[in-house]
Amino acid sequence: MQFTTAALLTLLGAASAQKVHVVSVGSTNGTLAFSPDNVKADVGDMLQFQFRGGNHSVAQSNFDNPCSPIAAHTNTTGIFSGYQPVAASQAMGMIPTYSVMVSAKTPLWFYCSQAKHCQAGMVMVVNENTTANSSRSLTAFKTLAKAQAANVAPTRASGGTSGTNSTTGSTGGSTGSGSGSSGTGTTSGSGSTTSGTASSATSSAVATGAATMVGVSSSVGLVGLVAAMFML
C-alpha cells in the first residue's frame, strides 16, 4: 500500500485543524463552577469536559430557561453527560471525561443539574454573542439561573461520549449514547492520549460525526498510523 505526499499532508492537516477545548467541571476544593465558563469554539472543535471533583453533570439548556433541559422548551434533544462522581475514579488516578463536537457557531448554554448548582452559578456558554444581542450574556444567564425555582435534569444521558481516562493517557471505557435529529445511536468511547481525552459521538445541535479519537496527540498518532501504512 502506498500513499502520496499530498495524501499524507491532507491527513496531517485534518488532524492539526481540530481543536480541543478542555473545560474543568468542579474542582478538588469543591468549587461549583465550569472553568473556563466562557469558550469560543469553531465548528468542528471538540469540547472536553473533565470532571475534577464532587458529583456534577453537563446539561444543555437555552438562554431563556436556565436550569432546565433544552428539550423541555424546544425540539432539540440537547446533551446530558449524566452524573459523574469523581472520588472512585480519583482513587485509581483517573479522570471522568465527556466530549462533544461543536456543529454551529450559535451560542450554546450549559448547566450542572445537580442539587442547586445551577442557581449557584455553575453554568457556562460556548460562543457567547453579545454583538448580536447584548442582553444575552453569560452574566445575564447567571442572573436568570439564580432566580430559578428548580434545577431540572434531563431524563436520560444523551449526546457525546463519556469515558474515564487517566491523566497519563490510559484507556477509558464507559459507554455514552447519542441522540440526534436523524436518529439515535450508541457508541463506546475509549482512547489513549497524552492529554487524557475521550472520543466523540453524535448529538443533536452540539455534536456531529462518527466516534473518533481527539486530543493534543492526535497528529502524533496519525503520523505513526501513516508511517505504518507505508510499511505495508
**Mean pLDDT across the chain, nearest whole number?**
73
On the question of pLDDT at 61 being above 70, the answer is: yes
Contacts of residue 144, Cβ cutoff 8 Å, sequence gap at least 6: 63, 64, 66
Query: 88-92, 127-131, 201-205: which range is least confident on average?
Result: 201-205
> Domain 19-213 is classified in which CATH homologous superfamily?
Cupredoxins -  blue copper proteins (2.60.40.420)
On the question of pLDDT at 187 being above 80, the answer is: no
d(CA 48, CA 59): 13
d(CA 109, CA 123): 7
Band the pLDDT of 156: cuts 50, 70, 90: confident
**Beta pairing, strands 46-51 & 94-101:** antiparallel
Tell me if 191 sits within 8 A of 221, measured CB to CB. Answer: no
pLDDT digits (tens, 9 = 90+) for 36-47: 999 999 999 999
CA dihedral for 93, 207, 123, 107, sign (positive or negative): positive
d(CA 212, CA 209): 8
pLDDT digits (tens, 9 = 90+) for 97-133: 999 999 999 999 999 999 999 999 999 999 999 999 9
Cell match 487517566: residue? 166
Q: How many CB atoms lie within 10 A of CB 40?
A: 12
Domain positions in the chain are: 1-18+216-232, 19-213
